[in-house]
């Protein structure tokens, strides 16, 4: 399927609710008529499967049928149809044909005209040159010129482009490169690496397995990496290569050259492996890290702690992050970044942690003279997030009152079960064993009761005397509701004071992200909140990684907190604007002052959360026709 249909299905897959043609049109940046056309095309391609359900409420994905459809797509042996499929078909053919391919033969094999092939070759040329190769033309013959290593990188890229977003599928890799037993090979590889004392990154290992499958396939076609006797090989790489050789021979009956094995081992060590599985922190630092690298990471951690008021002063965290950054730098220097299937969800769900990762990445960039992309920033965010989670900086336990009329020790059993299952989330304040309850006197966040309350209350959860799975889920939903409301109320008054009628706009267009930032920034400069250097700092931050943390809002900002006061310049647009890979209705330029540093985390997270719900955003977009109505609608959304 073409990219536009893939994106339509991707958006539908993100939600269990009905999505209207208008919502899909906004996200795709097309008309509702085009959306209906895409839906019709997908339905036609999937017949007799009902992949997309249609109703007066809009469209919704039939997940079971969709899974079957995707499986069928992978197994269908059809000729390349879409322009992207033809381009990838040509690249794969050029990769295998050292003497080149004939344009007329290509046209015949794809059942298209020679002019169509010529147009496809112009697209091929761009992809080929990005991979460090050249497209050579002699009459009707076209061929690739360049190293075998770059040919493999190109094959890896187009395979990932063809795959659905997320984790690479081992079955797809096997089918494409005729590599049997990849699953068994992966299990033995992980066992071998674990036995050698390595942590294994499951997010990246399938990407390296793809390179191994390509290597085995290419070597079987007598196309090996050129020998490079000058390339130094460490003892650690040599040891991994020897064990990798045994696994490849055993599983694929293939013999790779020392150069091939060394290359694959380097990929493993820079993308998948972290040493020190069973070693103390001090030993890891001594054995695997240079003193200046470790001291640089300590300095970066101190800067991040000072800027964002978090405590990153932990030697174990700093050492582990230093190991990761060492590998990241090696990847960046080779312009060979690791894919991260969690990038989008990390940005949308944990914007503040992602922002911390951006700050750390910016410091590493300056020190090393490299570029760090969104996927690599998300890996840093995983390190930061897991550390902050372990340190439990915020105690979010919800207080609870239990109402369970006394009958032997039933109330004791009930309390013990609740604490055993939800003790990390729930704090039991009181257990009431009487039936004549003064409900108005209960001040706990939620009330769990085995009897009906006389009046309906949002925070009351009625359960069975003997807790069931359904009861636990109901209590968890109540806990989530309390936490959400608590977070919103904690920041509500503070957030509202940062808005200013002079910094509010509606239906404001700009040709690019940078121009929108300048427009919003000019309004702030005009009232003395920031200077021009802050605006340029926000544009520089945007270039590092898009601040569209969700599909609805972008939150551009500079990393320096140099504003005279904390303020938000915001625009609400009925027509969404392209922002990075997203299309957003709300753009909020935030300027923080030094004195507002403490509020930064709360305001940042809260702003993204409030505008992350598409229904809430659409309500604000439709009803916030001026500044007073914007504040009214924002308060309504935050109170619900």
Q: What is the pLDDT of residues 139-149, one digit of tens each?
A: 999 999 999 98
Same domain membership, residue 26 and residue 137: no
Give the C-alpha separation, 376 to 358, whole Å: 10
Does residue 488 form part of some domain?
no
Structure token pair of residue 95: 């990769």
Does residue 237 form part of some domain?
yes
Total tally of structural domains belonging to the chain: 6
Q: Is the pLDDT of residue 207 over 80?
A: yes
Q: Dihedrals φ, ψ of 176, to 5°?
A: -70, -40
Q: Is the pLDDT of residue 315 over 80?
A: yes
CATH number at residue 522: 3.40.930.10
Same domain membership, residue 429 and residue 474: yes
Same domain membership, residue 195 and residue 70: no
Does residue 490 form part of some domain?
no
pLDDT in tens, 340-349: 878 888 888 8
Structure token pair of residue 39: 């839906």
**What residues have CB less than 8 Å from 302, skipping those under 6 apart?**
312, 313
Same domain membership, residue 409 and residue 465: yes
Q: Is the pLDDT of residue 43 over 50?
A: yes
Alpha carbon separation from 337 to 92, 168, 331, 334 (Å, rounded): 22, 15, 6, 8
**How many CA atoms does the CB half-sphere of 92 hold within 13 Å?**
16
Does residue 265 form part of some domain?
yes
Per-residue confidence at 350, pLDDT binned at 50, 70, 90?
Answer: confident
* Closest among 479, 482, 402, 396 to 447, alpha carbons compared: 402
Q: Dihedrals φ, ψ of 502, to 5°?
A: -70, -15
Q: Is the pLDDT of residue 179 over 80?
A: no
Same domain membership, residue 626 and residue 502: yes
Same domain membership, residue 174 and residue 157: no
- When the pLDDT of each residue in the chain is averaged and rounded to a whole number, the result is 87
Stretch 590-618: mean pLDDT, rounded? 81
Strand partners, 593: 563
CATH number at residue 403: 3.40.50.2300
Tell me how many degrees the CA angle 53-58-63 measures, rounded to the nearest 5: 35
Same domain membership, residue 109 and residue 56: no
Of the residues 275, 301, 334, which one is the last residue of a structural domain?
Answer: 275
Same domain membership, residue 412 and residue 368: no
Q: Is 325 exposed, middle or buried (0-12, 13-18, 19+ CB in 10 A)?
A: buried
Sheet strand arrangement including 582-591 = 499-506, 567-579, 582-591, 553-554
Of the residues 209, 240, 275, which one is the last residue of a structural domain?
Answer: 275
Give the C-alpha separation, 96 to 485, whole Å: 59
What pLDDT is recorded for position 78? Answer: 47
**Residues of the domain holding 348:** 281-391
**What residues have CB less than 8 Å from 41, skipping those under 6 apart?**
5
Same domain membership, residue 543 and residue 427: no
Does residue 451 form part of some domain?
yes
Q: Where are the alpha helices (DSSP H) in 545-613?
A: 600-610
Predicted structure pTM score: 0.72
Same domain membership, residue 520 and residue 620: yes
Does residue 576 form part of some domain?
yes
Q: Is the pLDDT of residue 50 over 80?
A: yes
Give the C-alpha separation, 510 to 113, whole Å: 41
Of the residues 275, 306, 335, which one is the last residue of a structural domain?
Answer: 275
What pLDDT is recorded for position 392? Answer: 56
Same domain membership, residue 529 and residue 471: no
Per-residue confidence at 357, pLDDT binned at 50, 70, 90?
Answer: very high
Decide which of 374 and 67 is more confident.
Answer: 374
pLDDT in tens, 211-259: 999 999 999 888 888 765 446 678 888 999 999 999 999 999 999 999 8
**What residues have CB less than 8 Å from 606, skipping those under 6 apart?**
487, 488, 491, 495
CATH number at residue 64: 1.10.10.10
What pLDDT is recorded for position 225? Answer: 84
What pLDDT is recorded for position 567? Answer: 93
Does residue 41 form part of some domain?
yes
Strand partners, 578: 583
477: left (phi over 0), alpha (psi -120 to 50) or beta: alpha
pLDDT in tens, 464-513: 888 999 999 999 999 988 887 776 666 666 677 889 999 999 999 999 99
Same domain membership, residue 635 and residue 501: yes
Interhelix angle 600-610/469-496, nearest 10 degrees? 120
What pLDDT is recorded for position 461? Answer: 94
CATH number at residue 312: 1.10.1790.10
Q: Is 126 exposed, middle or buried (0-12, 13-18, 19+ CB in 10 A)?
A: exposed
Give the C-alpha separation, 252 to 469, whole Å: 47
């Amino acid at each position: 399927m073409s990219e536009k249909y893939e994106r339509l299905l991707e958006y539908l897959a993100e939600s269990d609710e009905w999505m209207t043609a208008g919502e899909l049109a906004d996200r795709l940046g097309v008309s509702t008529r085009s959306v209906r056309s895409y839906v019709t095309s997908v339905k036609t391609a999937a017949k007799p499967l009902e992949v997309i359900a249609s109703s007066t409420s809009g469209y919704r994905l039939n997940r079971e049928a969709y899974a079957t459809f995707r499986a069928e797509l992978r197994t269908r042996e059809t000729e390349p149809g879409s322009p992207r499929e033809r381009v990838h078909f040509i690249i794969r053919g050029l990769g295998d044909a050292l003497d080149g391919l004939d344009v007329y033969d290509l046209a015949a094999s794809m059942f298209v005209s020679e002019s169509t092939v010529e147009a496809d070759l112009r697209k091929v040329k761009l992809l080929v040159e990005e991979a460090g190769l050249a497209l050579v033309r002699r009459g009707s013959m076209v061929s690739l010129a360049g190293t075998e290593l770059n040919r493999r990188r190109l094959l890896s890229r187009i395979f990932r482009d063809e795959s659905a977003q997320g984790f690479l599928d081992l079955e797809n890799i096997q089918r494409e490169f005729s590599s049997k037993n990849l699953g068994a090979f992966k299990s033995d590889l992980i066992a071998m690496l674990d036995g050698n004392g390595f942590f294994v990154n499951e997010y990246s290992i399938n990407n390296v397995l793809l390179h191994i499958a390509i290597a085995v396939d290419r070597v079987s076609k007598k196309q090996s990496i050129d020998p490079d006797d000058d390339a130094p090989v460490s003892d650690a790489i040599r040891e991994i290569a020897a064990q990798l050789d045994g696994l490849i021979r055993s599983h694929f009956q293939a013999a790779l050259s020392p150069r091939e094995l060394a290359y694959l081992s380097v990929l493993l060590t820079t993308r998948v492996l972290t040493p020190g599985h069973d070693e103390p922190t001090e030993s890891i630092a001594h054995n695997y890290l240079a003193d200046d690298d470790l001291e640089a990471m300590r300095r970066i951690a101190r800067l991040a702690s000072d800027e964002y008021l978090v405590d990153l002063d932990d030697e174990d965290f700093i050492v582990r992050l230093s190991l990761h950054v060492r590998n990241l730098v090696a990847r960046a220097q080779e312009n060979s970044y690791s894919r991260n299937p969690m990038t989008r969800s990390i940005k949308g769900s944990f914007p503040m942690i992602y922002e911390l990762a951006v700050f750390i990445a910016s410091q590493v960039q300056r020190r090393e003279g490299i570029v760090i992309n969104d996927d690599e920033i998300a890996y840093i965010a995983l390190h930061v997030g897991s550390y902050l989670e372990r340190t439990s900086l915020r105690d979010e336990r919800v207080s609870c009152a239990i109402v369970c009329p006394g009958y032997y020790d039933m109330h004791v059993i009930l309390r013990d079960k609740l604490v055993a299952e939800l003790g990390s989330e729930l704090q039991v304040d009181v257990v009431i064993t009487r039936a004549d309850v003064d409900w108005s006197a209960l001040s706990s966040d939620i009330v769990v009761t085995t009897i009906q309350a006389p009046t309906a209350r949002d925070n009351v959860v009625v359960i069975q005397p003997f807790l069931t799975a359904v009861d636990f889920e109901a209590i968890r939903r109540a806990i989530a509701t309390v936490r959400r409301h608590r977070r919103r109320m904690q920041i509500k008054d503070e957030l509202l004071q940062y808005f200013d009628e002079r910094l509010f706009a509606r239906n404001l267009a700009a040709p690019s992200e940078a121009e929108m930032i300048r427009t919003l920034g000019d309004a702030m400069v005009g009232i003395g909140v920031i200077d021009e250097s802050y605006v340029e700092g926000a544009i520089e931050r945007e270039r590092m990684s898009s601040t569209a943390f969700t599909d609805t809002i972008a939150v551009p900002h500079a990393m320096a907190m140099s504003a005279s006061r904390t303020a938000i310049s915001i625009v609400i647009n009925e027509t969404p604007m392209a922002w990075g890979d997203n299309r957003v209705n709300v753009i909020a330029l935030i300027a923080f002052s030094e004195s507002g540093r403490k509020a930064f985390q709360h305001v940042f997270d809260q702003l993204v959360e409030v505008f992350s719900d598409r229904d809430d955003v659409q309500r604000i977009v439709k009803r916030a026709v001026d500044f007073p109505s914007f504040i009214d609608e924002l308060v309504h959304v935050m109170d619900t």
